[in-house]
Amino acid sequence: MKRILILSILISACSDYKLSGDGDGNNGGDGGDDTGGTPGDGPEGACDPELFPAERVGTDDGCPTEPEGGFTPIEEWVGGSGYGCLSQPLVADLDADGNPEVILTLINLLGTKGWLTVLDGRTGVTLWQTSTDNFAYGSPPAVADIDHDGKGEIIAVREYQSALLGEGEYAAVRFEDDGTETWESEHFTGASFDWATAPVISDMNHDGTAEIVVGRVILTISGDTRGEGQYGRGSYGQALGISESSVPAVVDLDLDGTEEVIVGDARYDLDGNTLWHDDSQEDAMIGVANLDDDPEGEIVAISYNTIRAVDTDGSIIWGPTEIPSANILATPAIGDLDDDGYPEIVTAGGNRLVVLNHDGTELWRASITDKSGASGASIFDFEGDGIPEVVYIDEVEMIAFEGSTGRIKFYDSDHTSGTMFDYPTVADVDADGHAEILVCHNGMSYAVTAFGDADDSWAPVRQVWNQHAYSINNINDDLSVPVTAVPAFTTHNTWHSAIALDGALPQLDLQAEVLEVCTDDCDEGVVWVTARETNRGTEDVTTDTTLSLYAEFESDLVPLDATLVPATLVSGWSSEARVFEVDAADLVGATAVWVFADDDGAGGAVAECREDNNGFRYAGPFCE
């Protein structure tokens, strides 16, 4: 209970009263007798607590309820005016002020390099942007508090020479939350990572210090090179002789207590040493899930226009399955779409979005407009009905499908993109308690759109989506990197998916009432105050609460007494009355007495839908 007084000054009461009496306040829904004691013996006559048994008082509409879920996306804001975007937009509260920011790479409409940019998550207004446009246009940043200062740091990919024009030259760069550049790594060729690189931040050896994985390169948080693998880097393969994309995963796949860098044809330790390699398998962009009944994880690998599932030991479970007419496929989104206890896999390419079961069989497919593939999907149960939606962007529209059937629930044609391994981000970008969808555009007059629900009914979700390889468990809410990250495949078993928070509003609404103040015994130095708690909400109280009494002196409250009300206060009922015996001298000059429900001096014992209506004021004077 948070005490709020309707006075000109917010009055903060003390908590140095003592609890008196241990009455049980039984109301059990039947108006039964209260056999417990009450504060003081109580007078005979008007203030006798026996005159006020527990009774039905009814409920009111003080507790708001969430609107019924629906799926009616509307535009909340657009950002990046005059720019485009071809890489994943991220969400994180960089400066720890309670309001998330959007972090992304913006490009000009014709350019192949871009500016690292941070937008206000509430409005889309640009907060800061780098002064140079030398950031790889297809590379999303990654965000985490890697130096334990309570704020987020950004890792981005800087391009010095495009791998389209030669071997390429790239570096990783670290920025602070305010845009200050901290370091730049040594330079690497396009064989190590390229213009479409998704950095991954994780504490690979669980020592409290994160590693930064960029393609097949492992960096320290100071930007020093710790190691580099010698085989794949998380690339789907070559197009026109040019190798493209660096989308690895970092996870403890075999549950041995140490994380591995996973690419299509190899796995590396944190020093870049090869743990496994199979030259018969292509390099691949990686997703991770548990696809069978053993406890370890499996990988979903995208190579060219094929998808395959690979077991923990590196053996192929199924595939490679070819999606005809596609040049390449999108990075996978993974989640249980049909509530069968196993995850489904969503990918796209060749003007088709395809959903596969965990065993590689097809669940459903849908027509889209993206010949090349690349851009992908994300998964979230927006309506909270147990049926997740698949949200996808192609070259000309954003589409939301019913996850279990593929039925189209929404599409928005106010979108264009050349598509480049990005996918919709689902997060609470404006801290309003509901999910939003972030979508990048290219070729329009602005770069990104935040969609919300017309009825504010979408389920609550985290205020963070910190990297392309997002699996929920990989980052804490405060942007700290888990020292021992629980692999997502052992819990919710998702990849590129969001999980709704427990956002149900509490339906308790405790209020207090002063029933009588008796001053007949003022000559004997006693004032009797009879009061009770009521539960006007629709839930029963299951915890003992405290009913407290205060004297009001101008802008100050002085605690007088308190009593326990046991956990038997059901919805729509009052407790039996409690009588407080007050020393009349304590009320000399008092302008009123107050009683507060659920006031234990430590914030209250129960969560209520309203915390501003727990007090009741009874005006004085007394014994004058």
> If you write DSSP's letter for every residue of 96-108 in order, what string do you get?
SSSS-EEEEEEE-
Q: How confident is the model at residue 505 (pLDDT cuts 50, 70, 90)?
A: low
How many domains are contained in the chain? 2
For the segment 126-132, the average pLDDT, to the nearest whole number, is 95
Beta strands 101-107 and 90-92 are: antiparallel
Q: What is the CATH number of the domain that holds 576?
A: 2.60.40.10
End-of-domain residue from the set 456, 490, 524: 490
pLDDT at 19: 35
Q: How confident is the model at residue 103 (pLDDT cuts 50, 70, 90)?
A: very high
Q: How confident is the model at residue 485 (pLDDT cuts 50, 70, 90)?
A: confident
pLDDT at 483: 95
Please check whether residues 473 and 551 belong to one and the same domain: no
Please check whether residues 474 and 557 belong to one and the same domain: no
Please check whether residues 175 and 278 belong to one and the same domain: yes
Please check whether residues 137 and 242 belong to one and the same domain: yes
Please check whether residues 550 and 477 belong to one and the same domain: no
pLDDT at 154: 98
Please check whether residues 111 and 258 belong to one and the same domain: yes
Residue 480 domain flag: yes
Using the predicted structure, report yes or no on whether residue 581 has a pLDDT greater than 60.
yes
Using the predicted structure, report yes or no on whether residue 601 has a pLDDT greater than 70.
yes
Residue 35 domain flag: no
pLDDT at 356: 98
Using the predicted structure, report yes or no on whether residue 239 has a pLDDT greater than 60.
no
Of the listed ranges 38-42, 51-55, 131-135, 432-436, the one predicted with least confidence: 38-42
pLDDT at 38: 43
541: domain range? Answer: 506-619
Q: What is the CATH number of the domain that holds 255?
A: 2.130.10.10
pLDDT at 501: 81
Sign of the CA dihedral running 397, 366, 87, 357: positive
pLDDT at 384: 84
- 17 vs 63, more confident: 63
Express each pLDDT in 154-189 by its tens digit: 999 999 998 877 888 999 999 999 999 999 999 998
Measure the CA–CA gap between 38 and 584, rounded to whole angstroms.
19
Considering only CA atoms, which of 249, 246, 290, 282 is closest in space to residue 267?
249
Using the predicted structure, report yes or no on whether residue 614 has a pLDDT greater than 90.
yes
Using the predicted structure, report yes or no on whether residue 441 has a pLDDT greater than 50.
yes
Q: What is the 3-state secondary structure (H, E, C) of 381-449?
A: CCCCCCCCEEEEECCCCEEEEECCCCCEEEEECCCCCCCCCCCCEEECCCCCCCCEEEEECCCCCCCEE
Express each pLDDT in 315-374 by its tens digit: 999 999 998 888 889 999 999 999 999 999 999 988 899 999 999 999 999 988 776 667
Residue 72 domain flag: no
Q: How confident is the model at residue 463 (pLDDT cuts 50, 70, 90)?
A: very high
Measure the CA–CA gap between 522 and 495, rounded to whole angstroms.
71
End-of-domain residue from the set 460, 490, 520: 490
For the segment 95-118, the average pLDDT, to the nearest whole number, is 89
pLDDT at 26: 34
Express each pLDDT in 271-289 by its tens digit: 999 999 999 999 999 999 9
Using the predicted structure, report yes or no on whether residue 5 has a pLDDT greater than 70.
no
Please check whether residues 477 and 510 belong to one and the same domain: no
Please check whether residues 417 and 558 belong to one and the same domain: no
For the segment 81-89, the average pLDDT, to the nearest whole number, is 90
Mean pLDDT, the chain, integer: 87
| Helix (H/G/I), strand (E/B), else coil: 302 | strand
For the segment 600-615, the average pLDDT, to the nearest whole number, is 84
Residue 347 domain flag: yes
Residue 22 domain flag: no
- 385 vs 177, more confident: 177
Which residue reads 């919805």 in tokens? 571
Please check whether residues 513 and 485 belong to one and the same domain: no
End-of-domain residue from the set 455, 490, 525: 490
Residue 61 domain flag: no
pLDDT at 305: 93
pLDDT at 13: 35
* Predicted TM-score (pTM) above 0.85: no
Furthest-apart CA atoms within the chain: distance in Å: 102
For the segment 383-403, the average pLDDT, to the nearest whole number, is 89
Express each pLDDT in 16-49 by its tens digit: 333 333 333 333 333 333 323 344 456 666 677 7
Please check whether residues 574 and 453 belong to one and the same domain: no
225 DSSP β-pair partners:
219
Residue 565 domain flag: yes
Residue 196 domain flag: yes
Sign of the CA dihedral running 284, 285, 286, 287: negative
Under 8 Å between Cβ of 618 and 592: yes
pLDDT at 371: 66
pLDDT at 3: 39
pLDDT at 602: 75
Which residue reads 């987020």 in tokens? 152
Please check whether residues 449 and 551 belong to one and the same domain: no
CB atoms within 10 A of CB 443: 12
The letter for the amino acid at 56 is R
Please check whether residues 158 and 226 belong to one and the same domain: yes
